[in-house]
Chain A
Amino acid sequence: MTMTEVATPQPGIKRFIGIDWNFGALKTAGSRYWSFVALLAIITGMGILAWAVVLTTGGNAMAQRDNFTWGFWFADYMFYVGLAAGGLVVYASVHLFGAHQFAPLARLAVLMAGVLTMAALLGDLTDLVRIWRIFWFVVTPNPVAIFVYTGSAAGFYMVLCFVDLWVLITGKGGEKLAFRMTLIALPVAIYLHTTTAGVLALNKSRELWNSAVMVPIFLTSATASGVALLLIVAYIFQRLGILKFKSSMFRSLSTLLATVIIIDLFMLLVEIATVYWPSAAKAGHTMRFSEFLTGSYAFMFVPVLVLGFIAFGLLARRKTRHIPAVQITASALYVVAIFLKRYSLMSMGFAIGPLGQHQAPYFPSLVELLIALGLLSLGMLLMTLAAKVLPLEVPEDQHGEGPEPAHAGALPEPAVGSGVAL
């Protein structure tokens, strides 16, 4: 594992594990960049402090209690895992479905997927007070417990994303290997979502979760929110001058987003109809769901439907779909809607407990909130650093169809500091 000075006229670029890391760009970064990094670092530091509180004080510092067994970290886990998959679906569609208009997004999408999955896993780990006991996962795993499968899937998926990113950047193995990685990555992403949904759905004890439609809803929510976030982040990176995309790509992304949003909303409506239809309604079920439509939890679930339909409405008109403001608004609305959906989904397991007792809505404690914010800012910090240091711009000759030459040479661009692919 060596770091070399690359024999090019570019100062500050070091090659490491085959990637040209542009540390010179960090040196030339302005004060605004560094104050943003400092801000994120402070929030991350507070998150680490909050985690230290959990480790020293125990679970007492969290707002979760017997009646609300899983809390904010679980909503975040589902949310981040979902966002991660969306990016990967976009990237996979490049190779699997020939959607080459998304090719410029490939590296950014995979990087985001890896960082988000890492944040999700860390959120899970920070919830355990005696975290060092997780070695039992490998020593005596329970083959019937779905938790084992989702945990291992998330870990494997994170590693896969980073390996995939390395393959994309270094160009090792060329188009063939990239294609094969897609063939592995997409099924793993679907497997990850199935198992995450299974953690909820495969519980006969929690009526609102125990539904087969949970798995496809997870998949569509994940894809929709992931694509929406990817769109927003791509716009941000373009605005900051790090990457450059064609507007047709964004339009294509918005079409994909609109399609997935409406499928997601449709399945949610099907679920609601099944709960309330007279010949299918069960008292315990309708009582629990009504907490979320008209009861004390309505404030978190009703916006899911409202924002979702507004987002779809914004994107539905073909004539206005190309306007960046429309795209960004719709994407932002939908990301928020999916976050609220994850939060209400987590609450659905506990709003009325297994012994029929009503619980007040749960709000995270200061410690939980800071851990979640810390993880979010850690992810953003990694993306911010990667924006300068990693070569995220996909060279032109990797956009089109057909097999790629094994050693593609791209001209280094001083402003963005992308590296030379081997």
Chain B
Amino acid sequence: MSPDKLSEERPEGATAPDGTTFSRRHFLQSIGVCAGVVAAGVIPAVLTAPSASAEDATATTALAPAAPGAEGDQLAAIIKEDAPANYPGHPVYYADPAGKQKWAMVIDVKACVGCRKCVYACVEENNIGRSSGFTFIQVLEMEPGKIELESSVLDYAEAGRPDKWYMPVQCMHCAKPPCVYGCPVQATWKEPDGIVVIDYNKCIGCRNCMITCPYGARHFNWVVPEVPEAEVNPKVPVKEKAWTVEKCTFCVQRTRNGQTTACVEACPVGARKFGDLNDPNSDVSILIKTRRAWRLKEEYSTEPMIWYVG
């Protein structure tokens, strides 16, 4: 569309019938186009910005320390001890993820009774929207004698049945994660200590990672996550996750501070063990060595980091 090729009848700088010169009209047209492009970008952004309320301000500004002995005291204590290391929406870096650890989990399916306590401890810990329609952990009721997912039941109403066995499934934090390979904008990656994380600011919501995950472990926030004010965990983002993908993060806000994951803590029968594979004395290392451990969908060579023992 260069003028020099086409305007044999209109040499550059000549005057058009309406009096403006070519270059000025061209300039005005360009301004108009730029303004249109800017408007096209800004208007939807302004319309759709989630209500930036106190909920997603940084914890230090939104939550003032309450008077001693008051309800908010515990919260203030947590904030104080973790001061600058707050999210929201950015990748979480607490303790040094220097890669010296290799986080893994072992689930004892002999002990698991399918009570779903882990499911709901996780929901509470990770600010999963109460009406978002998913949980990070999905417990499947399996038929005995085989590991056949097609005959498993997700919405069982009766637990602890002796003629079934129960298998919780969540993000496996694979060593070769198909989700990381499939994300077009590199919004998800595997940290040096093994946890696969998501940057909620980058995720464009194309949901390709959900397609590539063989374990159905990733979930899209179709609605803005709604968490009751009193139950918000200040260490985990809430509104930033709207219209992005989220998943189990091995409670990165806990495990990098020396705690264990919420699901491991909540399991009443001790069916879950979380630990460092690099440490030969950790629960996971011992279990994998001494018991007959297996992994889900091993044939896909995703090399998941959750083993099952039974």
Contact = CB atoms under 8 A, between A and B. Distances in A.
Interface of A: 1-2, 4, 17-18, 55-56, 58-60, 62, 64-66, 69-70, 127-134, 136-137, 139-142, 144-148, 151, 199, 203-206, 283-284, 287, 349, 352-357
A65 B133 contact: yes
B78 interface: no
A62 B6 CA distance: 47
Contacts of A144: 181-182
Contacts of A199: 208
Contact of A133 (B10, B140, B202): B202
Which secondary structure dominates chain B's binding surface?
loop
A112 to B, nearest CB: 22
Contact of A58 (B44, B187, B213, B224): B224
Interface string B181-220: 1111111000000000000001111111011111110011
Contacts of A1: 1, 3, 26, 29
A392 to B, nearest CB: 21
Contacts of A356: 140, 148-152
6 contacts: A58-B222, A59-B223, A60-B222, A130-B244, A147-B206, A199-B208
Q: Among B16, B205, B210, find the residue whose CB has the most chain A CB atoms closer than 10 A.
A: B205
A141 B133 contact: no
B211 to A, nearest CB: 6
Interface residues of B, number: 59
B48 A130 contact: yes
Given A145-B208, A354-B213, 4 more contacts: A145-B184, A147-B208, A354-B214, A354-B215
B89 interface: no
Contacts of B10: 2, 4
B29 to A, nearest CB: 7
A287 B151 CA distance: 11
Contacts, number: 153
Interface of B: 1, 3, 5-7, 9-10, 16, 22, 26, 29, 41, 44-45, 47-48, 133-134, 138, 140, 148-152, 154, 169, 178, 181-187, 202-208, 210-216, 219-224, 242-244, 300
A22 B148 CA distance: 65
Contact of A205 (B16, B138, B212, B221): B212
A145 B134 CA distance: 26
The 7 closest A-B pairs by CB, nearest first: A356-B149, A205-B214, A136-B185, A356-B150, A59-B222, A147-B184, A129-B243
A151 B205 contact: no
Contacts of A141: 184-186
A141 to B, nearest CB: 6
Which secondary structure dominates chain A's binding surface?
loop
B102 to A, nearest CB: 23
Given A55-B48, A56-B48, A203 B212 contact: yes
Contact of A137 (B41, B150, B181, B184): B184
Contacts of B219: 66
Given A4-B10, A59-B223, A205-B211, A66 B183 contact: no
B213 A134 contact: no
A128 B205 contact: yes
Nearest to B203: A133
Contacts of B202: 133, 136, 140
B9 A4 contact: yes
B38 to A, nearest CB: 11
Contacts of B212: 203, 205
A56 B47 contact: yes
Contacts of A349: 211
Nearest to B132: A66
A355 B213 contact: no
Contacts of B184: 137, 141-142, 145, 147-148, 151
A130 B205 contact: yes
Nearest to B222: A59
Nearest to A204: B300
B300 A355 contact: no
Contacts of A204: 178, 214, 300
B203 to A, nearest CB: 8
Given A2-B7, A17-B1, A145 B223 contact: no
